[in-house]
Structure formats: structure tokens, C-alpha cells
Amino acid sequence: MKEFLQLAIPGLMIGGLYSLVAAGIVLVYKSTRVVSLAHGQLLAFGGLFFWVGLVVLHLPLPVSILLALICSTLMGWLVERLTLRPLIGQPLISAFLMTFAIFMALDGVFQLILKGESKTYATLLSLGEFEMMSVPIRVVQLISFGVVLFVFLFLALFFRFTKTGLGMRATAEDHQLSQSTGINVRTIFSLIWIISAAVASVAGMGTAYVMDIHFPLPYIGIKGLIVALFGGLDSLPGALLAGLILGVLENVFAGYLDPLVGGGLKDVAAYVLLLIILLIKPYGLFGLKRIERV
Amino acid sequence: MRPCGTFDERYGQDMAIFRIKRHWGLLIGALVLLYIFPLFGSYYFISLINHLSITIIIVLGLQLVSGYCGQISFGQAAFMAIGAYTSAILTGKAGLSFFIALPISGIVAGLIGLGGGAPSLRIKGFYLAMATIAIHFVVMWLIPHLEITGKTQGLHPPAPQIGSFVFDSDERIYYIIITVMLLMAYGARNMVRTRIGRAFVAIRDNDLAAEVMGIELYRYKLLAFFISCFYAGIAGSLWAHWIQVVHPEQFTLLHALNYIGMLIIGGGGSIPGVFFGVIFLRLLEEGVMFAAPLLAAVFPWIGIHPAASMSVSVFGIVLIIFLIFEPRGLAHRWEIFKSSYRLYPFSH
């Protein structure tokens, strides 16, 4: 039991971050029907901006968080404005390919900034650790898990009680109908990218703490996509649950089976899971099944 | 488009790819030039053409499954790896001749590719693309963990050999590579005009409507995957015996993403588009390789070796520009050029 908890609790912490990445993807998909590969980069740059504020510019913690949020939202807005808006009305698959092009374009910039090095701020922010049920837990990770839950709560309230949030839900249902009720769909698209970029950058700050700012960081976005698919592409609660499940599964599988197969199972477990989901339940846990007509 | 007054009088004329004598002259001239090129070409250009030809074979396969059949596949690099490893094992460990191992590795990659096509029964579009990404990672995880693939050290396949003649240099294997490439291109160009190719196009345009029309959806989707993975396997086998080292690092997701990019830039649904896309992106890469040290000299803060990351960035930006301004790719521009050239001085 102790061994299981030692594997499961860190998995749960990572899983929270996965579900936050997935939340960004789900938000964009819900309103615009675009599946975004670019979120991995938004996440990586969120972490990078935070690192710049904290380590390079020696800003205090709240200011660096604010800086990272502002820069990422700006980036999310630019991505929507410059690349995705010209594609409104085009087939959705070309928007998907566009997000992949954005991923590549930003990936080059990310690597150019890193120059093959690995940046970290984990040492600056270590608040120590404590033991719960004889499992060591880092305080920062616990805080970031709390932030994850808070962000999900915030999103849930936002979509339920604000006018903009309701407008976004209406847009998700039908673009033309919501336009005819006076909702500006373009503004909604911009806003949704801004919000999801902010969510992604929060995830980035948390993820970069755990795994350093290094060239594989953007590929967490693919994990986020897997989580989003697992939970159902248009379901926020699904994203939360699926992220936690994936985080735990990944760690537990790797912990128990790695000695048997010779390592590296952590990276591939998610993809095996994805294949199984796609074969058995392509619309995910809570996803809406859409019926197609010719 | 052809100028008015051009009529096809026989069925053969209507079906011809090369319609007039001038086309045939150009074709034969180009082929002769291609085959005598190693006699005077420099080593750099010969290996460039080798690389281009192998990439063209892979992207041709991708064109069939994604450009014609509409099933986007990110798994092409993994299937190329399967082909390369199969060929390396068959020649290196089983001692088969390269010329037998080449088609076998294509077929093995194709059969495993059927596994990649299996999810296409229930899912499509973006979901299928994700499934192929998953397949890529599973395959590329398996390779360094199996005993037969040489673990992380990779394999060293021998050079192809006929009698005592060994194709061990770039100039010698050049002939094998371009011959196979031309055959594969010829096959693809003709396949898309047959019943199979038209079924692919129907599935791409609307799969439900295609099924109603009597196309067996699943069979044709699987066939598309088989053919595309066959192409990737052949390319992998050629690659293995050209470089003579097979290593998991040679087949990353980035490579697969590059192939998709070549397809978009060249233009989906066009065989000449494959050539345009591959050559364009490759030249772009060479241009960045050339420009990057100059930029690094002017702006020292971008680091000493910016070429790799800059080429990724430039690739992404070019892709964005193409998706916004020319989603039908270079092939579409080529069509416009051809018809305006033929109709000159009239506009239509």
C-alpha cells in the first residue's frame, strides 16, 4: 500500500497539471471546434515567461506570475488573430493543421531561446516538503494542485454565471444561431483563446517546476490532447477526471512494470491508453456523441 | 486547361499523361539527364538527390492516404522505421539479398500499417490523426526495447550487391534509389486514376456519401493505409542501405511532421505536388543552413548553432503562410501556370 501511494500521489499532482492543459484544449474545442496542437507551446512559453520574470529579471513572485499571465494571454490573442481567424469558414481539418504549424513555428523560437540548455526555478521556490501517510510531498506541488482545482472552479462559475461565459456556451452550440441573438462570435473566439492561453500558462508554470524548462516541455501538449480525448473533447469535468486518472495510471504502471520491461514505460503508457480509448470509446468519458448527416 | 480546338480522338489520347511529342521529348531528356548525372555531378548534389528521392517516396505514400483518401497520418516516420529495420534484419541477420528484402520490408510495413488503419473504422479526421501519433510513439518505444532491433545501438545493414558489384557509395546506390523512386511515382500517378484512386477521392470528399454510393469504406481505408505504409517501408529500406546505419533517432515525430508539412506545401491531391513540396522544403532548409551562420554573426545573442531551431521555425511560418494564402499548395500554382502558358496570349 505504501508503495502504491508513493507512486499514486505524485501521479495525482502531475495529473492535475495534465488536466489543466486539457482544460485549455477543451475550452478552445468547445467554442471553435478547433482541436489545438499549439497548446503545448502556450504552456512552454508560460513557463518560460515565468522563469524570465523570476530568474532573469529578479522580480518578486506575484509580479512574475502576472508577467507570465499577461505575456501568454497576449500570445494566445495573437495566435488567434493572425493565424486562425483567416481560416474561419475553411474546413476544420485545415485549422487543425494550422495549430500544428503554429506548434512548429513556436517550437523553433522556444529552442532558439533555450539553446539546448535546461532552465529551472525549482530551487528558488522550494518550500520544503512534509510527509503524509509516509509519502513525501513537496509543498509547492500541493499548492499547484490547489491552484488547478481553483482554476477549474473558476471556469465552472464563469461559464455558469457570467454573460460572456453564457455567450461562449451558446457559441459552442451553434455559431449562426448565437450570432443572430447578438453574440459577437469573433470576439468570443478571441476571448476563448485568451482564456485558454492563460489556463495553459498556469499549467506551464506548474509543469516547468516539476520537469524543468527543456526542449521536451512543449510535448506535454500532446499529453494534454490525450487527456482531453479521454475525458471527452467538450467536457471540462471530463478533462479534470481524465487528467487525474492518466497521471496516476502513468506513474503506477511505470513504477510496477518498468523493472520487467526495461524502462521508459511512463512515456508510452499514455499512448497505449489513447489507442485503447479511441478503439473502445472514441468520444471519451463524458464527450458528446455527434450524429452526422450527409 | 487546354486551348479550344484540342480534341482527343482516341481513348488512348484521352488517358495519356504525356500527350504530345514535346512532352515525351522533355520526359526522355530529363530521365537521361537524371541517369547520367553522377558522371559529372558533385558528391553534394548526388547525396541531395538521394535524400530527396527517399523523401519523395515517403510523401507519395502520405499523399495517397492523406491527400487522396483524406485520412491524416502522423505515423509515416514510424512505418519508415519498420521498413528500415525489417530490411536491416533480413539482409544483416538472415543474409537475404537487398533486392528481395526491399519488397518484403515494404509489405511488412504495410501489414503493420493495417494495424494503424484499424481504428479508422470508428474514428476519422483529428481522432485518427491522434491515433497515428499514438502508434508512432508505441512503435518507437518498442524498437529500442527489442533484442532483434539491436536495442539502442541500432543496426548496420550491408550495402546492396549484385554478383561482385557492391553499391557502397552514394554514386552507385543513386541508381537504385532513383529507379525505385521513379517506379513508385509512376505507380502512384496511375493508381489515383483507377477505381481505387477514385474511391479514395470519394471517401475524402464525403465518406458517408461514398458508402451510400457502394464503396466499401473500411476496405478502401485499410487499403489506403496499406499502400501508404508500403511506400514508407520501401523508403525505409532504401534509407537503411544508403546510410548503412539504422537507429531510432533517425525516425522521430518531427520527421513525420515534416512530411505532413511537405504535403501541405506541395498541395494535397496531386502527385506532382509531392515533388514540389519535398524539393521546396528541402531547398528552404538548405537556405536556412546557409543563412543561419550569417545571422549568428550579425546577432550574436541567437547562439552559435541556430540552424536546427531556425529551420523548424521557418518551416512553421511557411506552413502558416501556405495555409492562409494558398491552401491548395504549389501544385495549384503549377496548374495556373500551365494553363496560362498554354492559352497565351488569350485569357481562357
Residues of A in contact with B125 (CB under 8 A): 92-93, 96
Are B232 and B258 in the same domain?
Answer: no
Question: Are A100 and B260 an interchain contact pair (Cβ–Cβ within 8 Å)?
Answer: yes
Whether residue B199 lies inside any domain: the answer is yes
Question: How long is chain B?
Answer: 348
C-alpha angle A185-A186-A189 in degrees, rounded to nearest 5: 90
Distance from CA of B222 to the nearest CA of A (A): 15
Q: What is the pLDDT of residues A173-207, one digit of tens each?
A: 778 888 888 888 888 889 999 999 999 999 888 88
Residues of B in contact with A215 (CB under 8 A): none
Asked if B145 reaches chain A (Cβ–Cβ under 8 Å), the answer is: yes
Question: Are B316 and A272 an interchain contact pair (Cβ–Cβ within 8 Å)?
Answer: no
Question: Pick from A35, A90, A111: which is nearest to B126 by CB?
Answer: A35
Are B224 and B258 in the same domain?
Answer: no
Asked if B129 reaches chain A (Cβ–Cβ under 8 Å), the answer is: yes
Question: Are B122 and A278 an interchain contact pair (Cβ–Cβ within 8 Å)?
Answer: yes
Whether residue B242 lies inside any domain: the answer is yes
Task: Classify residue A291 by its DSSP letter.
Answer: P
Q: What is the pLDDT of residues A109-127, one digit of tens each?
A: 888 888 777 777 767 766 6
Distance from CA of B322 to the nearest CA of A (A): 10
C-alpha cell at A141: 506541488
Residue of B nearest to A271 (CA): B134
Are B222 and B273 in the same domain?
Answer: no
Q: Which residues make beta-bridge pairs with A213?
A: A119
Q: What is the pLDDT of residues A131-154, one digit of tens each?
A: 766 677 777 778 888 888 999 999
- pLDDT number for residue A141: 79
Is the pLDDT at A100 greater than 80? The verdict is: yes
Are B206 and B231 in the same domain?
Answer: yes
Residues of A in contact with B209 (CB under 8 A): 294
Distance from CA of A162 to the nearest CA of B (A): 31
Question: Are A264 and B145 an interchain contact pair (Cβ–Cβ within 8 Å)?
Answer: yes
Domain span including residue B329: 253-348
Q: What DSSP string describes A199-261? A: HHHHHHHHHHHHH-B-TTGGGHHHHHHHHHHHH-TT-HHHHHHHHHHHHHHHHHHHHHHHHHH
Are B328 and B289 in the same domain?
Answer: yes
Would you say B127 and A284 are in contact if contact means Cβ atoms under 8 Å apart?
A: no
Q: How many domains is chain B built from?
A: 2
- pLDDT number for residue A262: 65
Residues of B in contact with A264 (CB under 8 A): 141, 144-145
Question: Are A278 and B208 an interchain contact pair (Cβ–Cβ within 8 Å)?
Answer: no
Asked if A85 reaches chain B (Cβ–Cβ under 8 Å), the answer is: no
Would you say B52 and B282 are in contact if contact means Cβ atoms under 8 Å apart?
A: yes
- pLDDT number for residue B305: 65
C-alpha cell at B346: 488569350
**Domains recognised in chain A with CATH numbers:** 2-280 (1.10.3470)
Q: What is the pTM of this model?
A: 0.88
Would you say A240 and A23 are in contact if contact means Cβ atoms under 8 Å apart?
A: yes
Are B273 and B240 in the same domain?
Answer: no
Would you say A224 and A27 are in contact if contact means Cβ atoms under 8 Å apart?
A: no
- pLDDT number for residue B28: 94
Torsion on CA atoms B195, B197, B201, B202, rounded to nearest 10: 20
Neighbours of B15 (CB within 10 A): 11
Whether residue B12 lies inside any domain: the answer is no
Percentages helix, strand, coil for chain A (3-state, rounded to 5) are: 75, 5, 20
Question: Are B315 and A94 an interchain contact pair (Cβ–Cβ within 8 Å)?
Answer: no
Whether residue B150 lies inside any domain: the answer is yes
Which of B210, B232, B251 lies at the terminal end of a domain, its last residue? B251
Is the pLDDT at A294 greater than 60? The verdict is: no
Cα B153 from Cα B249, distance rounded (Å): 10
Cα A29 from Cα B246, distance rounded (Å): 40
Are B207 and B313 in the same domain?
Answer: no
Are B33 and B133 in the same domain?
Answer: yes
Whether residue B306 lies inside any domain: the answer is yes
Which of B198, B222, B251 lies at the terminal end of a domain, its last residue? B251
Are B237 and B264 in the same domain?
Answer: no
Are B209 and B278 in the same domain?
Answer: no
CA distances from residue B305 to B292, B300, B309 in whole angstroms, order as listed: 8, 11, 9
Question: Pick from A35, A111, A226: which is nearest to B312 by CB?
Answer: A111
- pLDDT number for residue B78: 92
Cα A64 from Cα A114, distance rounded (Å): 19
Are B206 and B313 in the same domain?
Answer: no
Asked if B212 reaches chain A (Cβ–Cβ under 8 Å), the answer is: yes
Please name the residue that has the C-alpha cell 476544420: A92
Cα B108 from Cα B110, distance rounded (Å): 5
Cα A139 from Cα A129, distance rounded (Å): 5
Whether residue B301 lies inside any domain: the answer is yes
Which of B211, B231, B251 lies at the terminal end of a domain, its last residue? B251
Cα A140 from Cα B17, distance rounded (Å): 66
Asked if B134 reaches chain A (Cβ–Cβ under 8 Å), the answer is: yes
- pLDDT number for residue A263: 66
Residue B47 CB-half CA count within 13 A: 7
Would you say A196 and A24 are in contact if contact means Cβ atoms under 8 Å apart?
A: yes
Are B277 and B308 in the same domain?
Answer: yes
The overall average pLDDT reported for chain A is 84
- pLDDT number for residue A116: 72
Mutate to test the interface with B, among A82, A83, A112, A265 (most CBs of B within 10 A): A112
Q: What is the pLDDT of residues A250-293, one digit of tens each?
A: 888 887 877 776 666 777 888 888 888 888 887 777 777 766 65
Q: What are the 10-residue block averages of pLDDT along chain B, 348 residues in total? A: 79 83 91 89 89 94 91 90 91 85 92 83 80 89 79 78 78 89 93 92 89 89 92 93 86 88 89 93 87 77 71 89 89 89 79
B residues 67-96 lying closer than 8 A (beta carbon) to A: 72
Would you say A43 and A212 are in contact if contact means Cβ atoms under 8 Å apart?
A: no
Whether residue B225 lies inside any domain: the answer is yes
- pLDDT number for residue B223: 92
